[in-house]
């Protein structure tokens, strides 16, 4: 694969980053994942805007213009011949050549890394036809989950807990209320009403969430942005998650409790279809 590191394209085998990089030593960095469908980028604008916000919240200098970033995404998609897949982008605070809790001098250049992942069949996923089974786990992450940092250890552990339980993913619960999935936003459906947690520091402000809620409202579906408990979720008619890499994913079971008839729900399936249609049309 061709990858991009700090202004240069190169084979992945030649790409290097300092062992003192704060991304490596302290998870001091942010990331974005943008889907590619039909060789085009899905919601690049949304990801670029959130990236700028994440960097600003952490006082990391924004090292690359939106136009250049778009060009790097497109060049990697071209070079690696990605029809369906992902572009991963990571920006860390870099390093001034030693380990220190204090941030380095503000002139220290951030580290910018991008690579692609080829995922044929991403849109037509068998997992979406089956629906996901989730377990619930306690949410013990830090208090700024609205910043898309590379601190992904607990979500990774959550994913492993789910796998060990024979499930696909975990929903995290704080004070009885669902925050989000390990790498997606969480929704339940009651009748025609879609319920998802309101925005705040407790969850990531999903790019896919924003688009899906817009499409739901345009389709005259009722949307309620509020907290819901894990017990309310288990009693819901259906449930689903959203993320840039899995789009709209029906959830068919929570902690062993089947939702509805245990197959992907009508609302989730319709939203997945609308989302993919609309976003393919708007792709760049
Ligand atoms: N919540 C968390 C914790 C995530 O890691 C992600 C995506 O990686 C999401 C939600 C979904 O966000 P988006 O739709 O922007 O991919």
Instruction: Give the number of other Cβ atoms within 10 Å of residue 242's Cβ.
Output: 27
Same domain, 40 and 161: no
Same domain, 156 and 113: no
Q: What is the CATH number of the domain that holds 199?
A: 3.20.10.10
Name the pLDDT band for 94 (thresholds 50, 70, 90).
Answer: very high
Residues of the domain holding 175: 126-282
CB-neighbour burial class of residue 166 (10 A; exposed 0-12, middle 13-18, buried 19+)? exposed
Catalytic one of 148, 159, 163, 234: 148
Name the pLDDT band for 107 (thresholds 50, 70, 90).
Answer: very high
Residues 6+ apart with CB under 8 A from 48: 66, 69, 70
User: What is the distance in A from the centroid of ligand 1 to the CA of 58?
Assistant: 18
Atom of ligand 1 nearest to the CA of 208: 14
Residue nearest to atom 8 of ligand 1 (CA): 183
Asked if residues 109 and 6 have their Cβ atoms less than 8 Å apart, the reply is: yes
Mean pLDDT of 235-254: 98
| pLDDT tens digits, one per residue of 258-269 | 999 999 999 999
Asked if residues 87 and 114 have their Cβ atoms less than 8 Å apart, the reply is: yes
Place of tokens 């960095």: 29
Atom of ligand 1 nearest to the CA of 245: 16
Same domain, 76 and 213: no
User: What is the distance in A from the centroid of ligand 1 to the CA of 206?
Assistant: 5
Same domain, 102 and 131: no
Distance CA 248, CA 129 (A): 11
Question: Which residues, judged by CB distance below 6 Å to any ligand atom, belong to the binding site of ligand 1?
Answer: 180, 183-185, 204, 206-209, 242-244
The domain tally of the chain equals: 2
| Of residues 112, 79, 117, the one with CA closest to residue 4 | 112
Instruction: Give the number of other Cβ atoms within 10 Å of residue 219's Cβ.
Output: 11
User: What is the distance in A from the centroid of ligand 1 to the CA of 30?
Assistant: 12
Q: Please indicate whether residue 148 is annotated as part of the active site.
A: yes
User: What is the distance in A from the centroid of ligand 1 to the CA of 92?
Assistant: 19
Residue nearest to atom 7 of ligand 1 (CA): 183
Q: Among 178, 197, 206, 242, which is best to mutate for testing ligand 1, by the most ligand atoms less than 8 A from CB?
A: 206
| pLDDT tens digits, one per residue of 41-87 | 999 999 999 999 999 999 999 999 999 999 999 999 999 999 999 99
Q: Give pLDDT, residue 38.
A: 98
Mean pLDDT of the chain: 98
Give the domain-ending residue among 99, 118, 137.
118
Same domain, 265 and 137: yes
Distance CA 61, CA 108 (A): 9
Give the domain-ending residue among 55, 83, 118.
118
Same domain, 55 and 75: yes
Distance CA 51, CA 26 (A): 19
């Amino acid at each position: 694969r061709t990858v991009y590191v700090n202004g240069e394209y190169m084979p992945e085998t030649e790409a290097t980053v300092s062992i003192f990089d704060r991304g490596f030593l302290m998870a001091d960095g942010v990331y974005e994942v943008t889907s590619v469908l039909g060789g085009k980028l899905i919601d690049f604008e949304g990801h670029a805007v959130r990236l700028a916000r994440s960097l600003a919240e952490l006082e990391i200098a924004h090292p690359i213009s939106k136009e250049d970033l778009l060009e790097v995404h497109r060049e990697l998609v071209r070079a690696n011949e990605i029809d369906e897949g992902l572009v991963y982008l990571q920006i860390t605070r870099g390093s001034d050549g030693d380990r220190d809790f204090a941030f380095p001098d503000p002139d220290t250049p951030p580290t910018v890394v991008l690579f692609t992942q080829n995922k044929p069949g991403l849109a037509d996923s068998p997992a979406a036809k089956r629906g996901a089974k989730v377990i619930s786990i306690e949410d013990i992450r830090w208090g700024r989950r609205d910043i898309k940092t590379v601190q992904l250890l607990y979500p990774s552990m959550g994913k492993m807990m789910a796998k060990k339980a024979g499930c696909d993913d975990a929903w995290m619960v704080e004070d009885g209320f669902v925050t989000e999935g390990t790498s997606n936003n969480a929704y339940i459906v009651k009748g025609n009403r879609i319920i998802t947690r309101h925005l705040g520091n407790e969850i990531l402000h999903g790019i896919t969430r924003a688009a899906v809620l817009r499409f739901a409202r345009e389709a005259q579906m009722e949307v309620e942005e509020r907290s819901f408990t894990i017990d309310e979720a288990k009693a819901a008619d259906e449930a689903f998650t959203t993320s840039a890499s899995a789009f709209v994913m029906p959830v068919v079971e929570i902690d062993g409790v089947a939702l509805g008839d245990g197959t992907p729900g009508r609302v989730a399936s319709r939203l997945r279809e609308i989302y993919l249609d609309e976003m393919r049309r708007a792709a760049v």
